[in-house]
Structure 1
Amino acid sequence: MSYKLSAPSRRHTNSYKWDSAPSDDVIPLWVADMDFETYPAITEALQRRVAHGIFGYTRVPDAYYEAVCRWFASRHQWHFTPSDIIYTSGVVPAISAVIKALTLPGDQVIVQGPVYNCFYSSIRNNGCETVSNALIYNKEKLRYEIDFDDLDKKLSHERARILLLCNPHNPGGRVWTRSELTRVAELCCKHGVRVVSDEIHCELTLHDNKYTPFGSLPDELSHGSITCCSPSKAFNIAGLQIANIVCRDAQVRERIDRAININEVCDVNPFGVEALMAAYTDGGEEWLNGLRQYITANYEWLRQYMSEALPHLPVMRMEGTYLAWVDCSAIDETSEEIEERLMREHKVWVNAGSMYGREGEHFIRINMACPRERLVEGLKRIVEGLK
């Protein structure tokens, strides 16, 4: 069965992405949600749930845990058990709770900048110190690479407790290979630093790039790791607020569960539970594969168009996510100034790279998860503003 992606108007629906714009003539290519309707089986499951008419506190059923385990085992060859899962309301609350569970104020949490902006706030809010193992920008290959020598050094610090990994990487678009993840795991084991992996973009690989769950590495390297995942990005259901923490170490899992309760993010939305089960059990793979093909085609069009219209602003070679990362270092403006000017003068909204750490200062991020004609118009406006 094939599915046609549908993209109805989102204006005046209290959409954070669309209705935060200062005027209706702005094209939003910023925050990371898609303009496509979700997988139809999810909508049908939610309609059945709505028809019941009562929306009290939800008990998460066994079928939920079984769906998560089956999905990752069959699609990604990652095997874990229902008892390894802790559900919560989102990946960011999950990360925050894990940091609370495994650190003390003043401990160091290592990130690989530029990286998802909420990493920084989650670390700061728990009283920890952010340390960046900055990614190497390979300008010839137009991709990021891990600086393993620097990582080894940063992990050796006496206060280093967690490496907060982004796999696949947002905003850089890397889908880390098994060999890269293995090297990361070996260094973390060497120094006794625990890996916490944000894998929310795991389904959104482009071309034939293969996502490797960190938890699927050999047991001696991954047993103590924690993975935070959710169907929210892949199926465009972030507003339903559902995510999972996968941890096979029972003692660590108990500490995380306690932190989840301390942070009061232990109750979840009944619609999120229904949506996850529909996505993972009712044929969501075929819809998802079609979505990935569409986003891949959007990326290839964007890369070609930008290379012809703005050859001095290279686009990172994306392996995953739907977020293009554009090098604007040839422009004598900060990324915040570029974002503000494009919004004010050209009515297109992108993300300033500086929000992802100092390493992102000379970049902008563009959301490609929209109909091609919308992306075309948005890129025309960007080119007009940056040429």
Structure 2
Amino acid sequence: MSDFTTVYQRRNTNSVKWDSVEEIYSITDASQVLPMWIADMDFAIPSPITEALQRRLEHPVFGYSKASEETKTAFTNWMQKKHQLKIENKWILFQQGVVPSISAVVEAFTEVGDKVLIHTPVYPPFTIVPEKLGRVVETCRLTEQDGSLEIDFSAFEAKLKSGVKVFILCSPHNPGGQVWSKEDLTKIAALCQSNNVLVLSDEIHSDIVFKPNKHIPILSVAENLNNIITIFAPTKTFNLAGIQAATIIVPDEQKRKVLEDHALAHGQMELSIFSLTAFQAAYEHGEAWLEELLEIVSSNMDYVVDQLTSKVDGIKAFKPDGTYLLWIDYRDTGLSEKDMMDLLLTKGKLALEPGTKYGEAGNGFLRMNVACPRMTIEDGVARFIKALT
């Protein structure tokens, strides 16, 4: 059994989550603030990964590294077992994370001034990266009803027809936690294909899905795999953000060559010895840990939703289909985002993420990370209730 109860001291470990609160939230003293914002967990990683890294450290030479076929097969076996998706080893390209992967694909397959389409609200780099590359970001707002997000396909199709080159899909959705249906994904793939729009699907949260929901890779429903590029990573699943590793799955040989040339042009080398070691160990030996994690996070979600909705007037929260991120609706409180954040930080001593970080469509919402021990969850909920009552 793994340890999901120990509260680890993460302050002064160069943790973005714990040591950047003063900077991120513009406060002078964050020593008493509980951070439940950025998407990493406060749980120890699976012990087989730690053991694999320790074994590698016993060898005293850390030279240039490369991904072995065994490393790739660990991932393809996982995808076949967990998501019934058959991936060929040759489709796999490695990258130092999902955001660098998005940047590489957008830069390689569009030109300055080209249009990139996203749904909103959505993970901020979907907007930031294309804009910093000089692309024009088009948005299609998701509709929300009782915690469920829906795609306005009429608006989506109209945007696709406006000259969009790439559509970036978030599946499962961050911050809403929506696991898209087979019907939605099939329609997205078909519309993008018919309008000659490349689909870039970020599926980093695919392993953190609560029963009876099931993640469906868009590659498994698309008629033309050559029009799809998908990003996966072990970093959300196994709390490995600091090792910086992701895979870009590119079935089309010509597109793989374009991305390989792009990597050479930008001096991007193979993943580090330690990234590859952790990557392989996670996919070979992490399944039992993940099953325990899903139970813990699901229980945390149930607790937070029950407490906040029953004890704080004007708060709506619904258990998401997946992710360990809760999307909290506070619009009925009548509070502005500034007032809400001030109350949470100054009265509750709690750092959550403001919804507008995910676009204007997120106004009136907060994002809360519940991937932490129950003691921390109870503390965070108590702080939230104190701030609002």
**Shorter-normalised TM-score: what interval?**
over 0.9
Is the CA contact (8 Å cut-off) linking 2:67 and 2:270 kept in structure 1? no
Deviations 1:266-297 (A, max 9, x none): 33222110011101112x11110110111000
Query: Is 1:56 aligned to 2:81, yes or no?
Result: no
Aligned identity (percent) is 35
- Give the structure 2 partner of residue 130 of structure 1: 137
Equivalences for residues 179-328 of structure 1 within 5 A: 179-218=183-222, 220-282=223-285, 284-328=286-330
Question: What CA distance in whole angstroms lies between the structure 2 residues aligned with 1:339 and 1:373?
Answer: 23
User: What displacement does 1:340 show?
Assistant: 4.0
**Alignment partner, residue 109 of structure 1:** 116
Q: Which stretch of structure 1 is more off in the superposition, 305-314 or 355-364? A: 305-314
Q: Tell me, what secondary structure is at the counterpart of 2:120?
A: coil
Taking the aligned partners of 1:278 and 1:167, their CA distance within structure 2 comes to 24
CA contact (8 A) 2:344 2:351 kept: yes
SS of residue paired to 1:52? coil
Contact 2:225 2:252 survives alignment (8 Å): no
Instruction: For residue 311 of structure 1, report the CA deviation from its aligned partner.
Output: 4.2
Uncovered stretches (5+) of structure 1, i.e. residues with no partner: none
8 A contact 1:109–1:131 mirrored in 2: yes
| TM-score, with length taken from structure 2 | 0.94
- Is 1:142 the counterpart of 2:128? The answer is no
CA distance in 1, matches of 2:313, 2:62: 53
Spell out, residue by residue over 1:157-178, the C-alpha distance to the aligned partner (whole angstroms, 9 max, x if none): 12x0111000000000101111
Aligned mates of 2:240, 2:148 — CA distance in 1: 29
Q: Secondary structure at the match of 2:141?
A: coil
TM-score of the superposition, structure 1-length normalised? 0.95
Q: Work out whether residues 11 and 18 of structure 1, in 8 Å CA contact, stay in contact via their aligned partners in 2.
A: yes
| Distance in 2 (alpha carbons) for counterparts of 1:55 and 1:354 | 43
Q: Count matched residues.
A: 381
Whole-Å Cα distance in 1 between the matches of residues 313 and 211 of structure 2?
Answer: 23
Indicate the residue corresponding to 2:366 in structure 1.
364
Matched, 1:16 2:37: no
Question: Is the contact made by 1:117 and 1:356 (CA closer than 8 Å) also made in structure 2?
Answer: yes
Alignment-derived partner of residue 99 in structure 1: 106
Report if the CA contact (8 A) 1:336-1:354 is conserved. Answer: no
Instruction: Report whether the alignment pairs 1:153 with 2:172.
Output: no
Rounded Cα–Cα distance in structure 2 between residues aligned with 1:278 and 1:118: 28
- What whole-Å deviation, never above 9, does each CA across 1:26-73 have from its counterpart, x for those lacking one? 111000000000011000001111222333322221211111111101
Match of 1:80, SS state, is coil
Superposed CA RMSD: 1.5
Q: Is 1:38 paired with 2:45?
A: yes
Structure-1 separation of matches of 2:265 and 2:127: 20
Q: Give 5+ residue unaligned stretches, structure 2.
A: 22-28
What is the match of residue 83 of structure 2? 76
| Segment drifting more, 21-30 vs 248-257 | 21-30
Match of 1:3 in 2: 2
Letter in 2 for 1:229: F
User: Which amino acid counterpart does residue 3 of structure 1 have in structure 2?
Assistant: S
Local SS of the residue matching 1:300: helix
